[in-house]
Amino acid sequence: MSHRCTTCTPPERKRLSRRAVLKGVGAVGTVAVAAPGWGSMAFASNNATRVGDVVVNIFLRGGMDGLSVVVPRNEATGADHLAAARPTLAVDPASVIPLTEDFGLHPMMAPLMNVWNTDRLALIPAAGFPDNDRSHFAVQRKMDEGLDNGVVGSGWLARHLDNTVSPGPDGLRAVSLPNGQRSLSGSSVAVTLRSTDTFRVDGFRNNGDSGAMVRAALQDLHAVDPGSVVNSRAHEALVALDVVNNAPTSDPANAAVYPTGGRGRNTGRVLAEVAELIRADVGLEAVATEANFGWDLHDNFGNQTDGRQAQNLNALAEVLAAFAQDLGSDMDRVTVVVMTEFGRTFRQNGGAGVDHGRASTMFVMGGGIRGGLYGDWPGLAPDDIDRNGLRVTVDYRTVLADVLQHRLVTGNMGAVLPGFVDDPDRRLNLALPLAVNA
Amino acid sequence: MHRVQLLSKVTYGPTAAEVEQVASLGPVAFLDRQLSIPPADTTDVLTGTHSLDADIATRYQLYNRQNNDRPAKELRHAAVIRAARHEGQLAERMVEFWTNHFSTYSGNSDKNVRYAAASDDRDVIRAHAMGRFADLLLASARSVSMLLYLDNHRSTGNRPNQNYAREIMELHTMGASNGYDEDDVEQVARIFTGWGLAGELDTDGLRFDYRPDRHFTGACEVTIVHPDGSVDTFSTPERPGGVGGEQDGIDFVNWLARRPNTANYLATKLVRRFVADDPPPSLVASAAEVYLANDTAIVPVLRHILTSREFIASQAPKVKSPFELLVSMVRATGATIDPEFSNENDRPAARTISDHLSRLGQSMWAWPTPDGFPDDRNFWITTSTTLRRWELAGRFGNDNLNGFTIDAAALLPDPMPETIDLVVRALAARFGIPITQTDVAAITEFLGVATDTPVADVALMQGLGDVIGLLLSFPANQYR
């Protein structure tokens, strides 16, 4: 009656199944026909320097509630338990957008259905950090570093880049926007971009020749002690200035509209710039950003139409959908991974909010992704709950491992995810193996 | 040896007067003097209509129709002027430190923190910055902005809110998972139930109020395990009707402030701030002992750190935070800042300060999470902020910051040396920047002349702003 055995899940049941509930997309292994706007799978890269996809990692800092993203619709999946635990906050199962017989998407995330319907969106509703740690900062740090424990001082994306050959000339391999992201920290090739149009040397008077004189002087003044953080960043900045400033600019394509107001404004601007850089073909391989819409809703969680959580989810759906639309067929070589440090408590607290919980929903979106719901559903009966949180059934690194292996063709999985026991039987297989480049 | 170290770590970039003072008094007396001066508390640092001396209701009246960020702009404007001008430099540094330690976010409209932040700055942070940590912690626990920000004002016995309970242990005292677990977070949340607010924001303002009817009535027990394996327990009895619950919370704060784990966590952060990003463990350990031996008094801990062998020997440079960089440039160039603030319209100086702090990555009172800005060179220095640091330097040199006035010509040596290289060297010396002959050549090349060119043959005044900008862009000027 309660949970299924997590250690004996047959490999073919990787997708969320009753307690494991199946989404009716094509069977594992078949490639769905590309929908309009998504180009064909036989996308010929115009970027000879890149082997794998461009990975775009979006961290939802603050701990996003996942129980309002992928919502149980019936008794078998725990809708009644959820309604009892969150008398004023639970999403009404009758209002959700059906994803499967058993689960639906928050109604305010409707913009994402364009992506879901093309079978390029994987949702993992019980993913999370393996250990029951509920500190924002400790867990974010470990997830940014790709760990389950300790600190290594460099990010998982940084180590992926370090261990993966980039055959082409130096371009702009990795960017953090709009500020430094720990998943790229320690990388000598990652550049922090607050925005592309402010990436220049301002403030000096002698800006003749596009500031070349000032840049030359700054170059000279940072010539010694190249290992220091100040001088390293200075050199990287001076190199990146040329790449960024010479990259062709473009407006969003395919009539994509990013939110220009509300919570999604900043992330929308960031993703529009990322799409522009991908189109400009500057050699991008990894992007790290964050969407801090105010997920830490200990209070003021709000109702499902115009409350805080509903607005946040709407903004997230809008920016992701706009990004996919904007990139169009280029999305075939892009994989977006959205993650958060933990979900929220199962039961609402006194302030009409939810405290720090356990599992939440991870999103993986891209042309090489098999759409669907993934992972075992832990259930919401009293015995299923992990200290007032949704039980984690999928280690977040299991998701990263699929992406790293199949979409990023990473050079050394062990270095990127140290300590991760990569059990093939637990893999979700949510990513299609990358087609060999012509 | 100790003098340079002391001046660069205690002040926001020494002025000529401070250099002279440390020379005449000697480092020990100079430090004693700095340790004895409290933070700036007069509010005439700003002119115009502002709310530094207002209560919460008045501040609400001033700002409720204004942009969310305006109350924080006022605080940043005042903070920069105070840090640049206040004689108690160390005290202002500690204000910056504790503001970050007890970080609150004033950017959301729905939590109303923005109406309380300036009261917190005045009545909590500035009042206790050089006092006892236990008093500071208690003042923070009862502070309106903290109660709003971390939701404790909504926490009830039936449905405790864990936000504040978790962060007072994780961020304000002991550090993440440092001796406590999830059970303890639950227990602490119960101890603080009923600690809330009274009053109406728009009429009489908000104030701390203990509500017995909202307090958890059962017994609570918190267990802390120390690094040596010893165990400390804090327990409260059953509290029918919530009577006695307020004192339980006060006792808990006082107990928490005096735990060895707290001493260790605070010592680590202070040593990181004043000595190195990677704090020497021996100094952390001895500073923690001083903290406990002095019943959480802050000044003895600072004295210990700033006179320690490890401090004097430390070579690891600390990168200036954006706030430190901005204030140090104000002090180096003798810039004057327009003190006029308006609650209704952006005045140039207030806007300049907020814009540049934001671009450089330190929008104070607008860091969304309660952990505060990381004290880490890799956080402050990125490719993007490097460009913005250079821009700020260029703007200082060229007197191109709205609301600031910089007289570049007044920075030139008097009498004027004969050749341009000596002018460049004199300016560098004035800014405390070590300079090599190669650097000098790079700058004269920028001016299009050889190093030994007579000053009379150089269009110096046209290039002076950029020369100052380049000097303030030096790697050495990014460190303190």
In chain B, which residues have their Cβ closer than 8 Å to the Cβ of A221?
Answer: 439, 442-443, 470, 473-475
Percent of chain A surpassing pLDDT 70: 86
Backbone angles phi, psi at A430, to 5 degrees: -90, -5
Residue A6 has pLDDT above 80, yes or no: no
ipTM of the complex: 0.93
SS3 A109: helix
* pLDDT bracket for residue A210 (50, 70, 90): low
**Which residues numbered 358-397 in A keep a CB inside 8 Å of some CB on B?**
387
* pLDDT bracket for residue A117 (50, 70, 90): very high
Q: What is the pLDDT of residue A8?
A: 35
* pLDDT bracket for residue A21 (50, 70, 90): very low
Q: What is the pLDDT of residue A399?
A: 98
Task: Give the nearest chain A residue to B477 (CA atoms).
Answer: A230
**CB–CB of A279/A285 below 8 Å?**
no
Q: What is the mean pLDDT of residues B28-43?
A: 95
Q: Measured in whole angstroms, how far is the alpha carbon of residue B242 from the centre of its chain? A: 37
Task: Give the nearest chain A residue to B467 (CA atoms).
Answer: A204
| Higher local confidence (pLDDT), A181 or B345 | A181
**Dist CA B142 CA A234 (whole Å):** 44
**Dist CA B388 CA A201 (whole Å):** 7
**Dist CA A105 CA A109 (whole Å):** 7
Say whether B383 and A138 touch across the interface (CB within 8 A): no
Residue B21 has pLDDT above 60, yes or no: yes
**Which residues numbered 105-124 in B keep a CB inside 8 Å of some CB on A?**
108, 110-111
Q: What is the pLDDT of residue A165?
A: 82
Highest mean pLDDT among A18-27, A291-300, B295-304: B295-304
**CB–CB of B279/B239 below 8 Å?**
no
* pLDDT bracket for residue A34 (50, 70, 90): very low
Say whether A135 and B479 touch across the interface (CB within 8 A): no
**Dist CA B90 CA A114 (whole Å):** 57
**CB–CB of A346/A78 below 8 Å?**
no
Q: Does A88 touch chain B (CB under 8 A)?
A: no
Q: In angstroms, what CA-CA distances link B334 with B14, B16, B93, B407, B470? A: 11, 10, 19, 8, 17
**Dist CA B38 CA B34 (whole Å):** 9
* pLDDT bracket for residue A147 (50, 70, 90): very high
**Dist CA A43 CA A50 (whole Å):** 13
Q: Does B400 touch chain A (CB under 8 A)?
A: yes
Angle at B208 between CA B202 and CA B213, to 5 degrees: 105
Q: Measured in whole angstroms, how far is the alpha carbon of residue B144 from the centre of its chain? A: 20
- Residue B445, amino acid: E
In chain B, which residues have their Cβ closer than 8 Å to the Cβ of A300?
Answer: 110-111
* pLDDT bracket for residue A24 (50, 70, 90): very low
**Dist CA B186 CA A246 (whole Å):** 55
**CB–CB of B395/B405 below 8 Å?**
no
Q: Measured in whole angstroms, how far is the alpha carbon of residue A362 from the centre of its chain? A: 7
Q: Give the residue carrying structure tokens 């998972």.
A: B177
**CB–CB of B379/B371 below 8 Å?**
no
Residue A18 has pLDDT above 60, yes or no: no
Q: What is the mean pLDDT of residues A173-200?
A: 91
Q: What is the pLDDT of residue A48?
A: 45
* pTM (global) more than 0.90: no
Q: Does A229 touch chain B (CB under 8 A)?
A: yes
* pLDDT bracket for residue A40 (50, 70, 90): very low
Task: Give the nearest chain B residue to A154 (CA atoms).
Answer: B378
- For chain A, the 3-state helix, strand and coil shares in percent, each to the nearest 5, are 35, 15, 55
Q: Which of B362, B361, B367 is nearest to B104 (CA)?
A: B367
Distance between A126 CA and the closest CA of chain B, angstroms: 20
Distance between B435 CA and the closest CA of chain A, angstroms: 10
Distance between B157 CA and the closest CA of chain A, angstroms: 8
Q: What is the mean pLDDT of residues A51-59?
A: 94
Say whether A206 and B446 touch across the interface (CB within 8 A): yes
Please, what is the end-to-end C-alpha distance for chain B in angstroms? Answer: 15
Query: Residue A34 contacts by C-beta under 8 Å, 6 or more apart in sequence?
Result: A40, A41, A118, A367
**Dist CA B158 CA A350 (whole Å):** 7
Provide the mean pLDDT of chain B. 95
Q: What is the pLDDT of residue B177?
A: 79
User: Which residues sit opposite B340 in a β-bridge?
Assistant: B47
- A153: which 2 tokens? 């001082």
Residue A173 has pLDDT above 70, yes or no: yes
Number of alpha carbons in the 13 Å side-chain half-sphere of residue B134:
17
Backbone angles phi, psi at A386, to 5 degrees: -100, 100
**Dist CA A403 CA A432 (whole Å):** 9
Residue A384 has pLDDT above 90, yes or no: yes
Q: Which of A373, A375, A364, A434 is nearest to A405 (CA)?
A: A434
SS3 A54: strand
Residue A9 has pLDDT above 80, yes or no: no
Residue A405 has pLDDT above 80, yes or no: yes
**Dist CA A85 CA A388 (whole Å):** 10
**Dist CA B447 CA A206 (whole Å):** 10
Q: Please name the member of B154, B388, B392 whose beta carbon is closest to the beta carbon of A299.
A: B154
Selected for mutation to probe chain B from A129, A198, A221, A244 (highest B CB count within 10 Å) is A221
Say whether A217 and B475 touch across the interface (CB within 8 A): no
Q: In angstroms, what CA-CA distances link A137 with A133, A341, B370? A: 10, 9, 10
- Lowest-confidence segment of A45-49, A209-213, B228-232, B355-359 by average pLDDT: A45-49
Q: Does A218 touch chain B (CB under 8 A)?
A: yes
**CB–CB of B477/B333 below 8 Å?**
no
Q: In angstroms, what CA-CA distances link A303 with A61, A292, A300, A318, B442? A: 21, 20, 9, 19, 62
Say whether A192 and B161 touch across the interface (CB within 8 A): no
Residue A198 has pLDDT above 50, yes or no: yes
Backbone angles phi, psi at A285, to 5 degrees: -120, -30
Say whether B383 and A192 touch across the interface (CB within 8 A): yes
Q: What is the pLDDT of residue A168?
A: 58
Backbone angles phi, psi at A364, to 5 degrees: -130, 125
* pLDDT bracket for residue A208 (50, 70, 90): low
Residue A104 has pLDDT above 80, yes or no: yes
Q: Give the residue carrying structure tokens 């997920």.
A: A295
Say whether B161 and A351 touch across the interface (CB within 8 A): yes
Q: Does A217 touch chain B (CB under 8 A)?
A: yes
Residue-wise pLDDT for B164-203, tens only, equals 999 999 999 999 878 999 999 999 999 999 999 999 999 9
Residue-wise pLDDT for B445-480, tens only, equals 999 999 999 999 999 999 999 999 999 999 999 999
Say whether B382 and A192 touch across the interface (CB within 8 A): yes
**Which residues numbered 148-207 in B keep a CB inside 8 Å of some CB on A?**
150-151, 154-156, 158-163, 166, 170-171, 176-177, 182, 185, 193
Q: What is the pLDDT of residue A411?
A: 87
* pLDDT bracket for residue A37 (50, 70, 90): very low
Backbone angles phi, psi at A40, to 5 degrees: -105, 160
Q: What is the mean pLDDT of residues A266-274?
A: 97
Q: Does B369 touch chain A (CB under 8 A)?
A: yes
**CB–CB of A126/A393 below 8 Å?**
yes
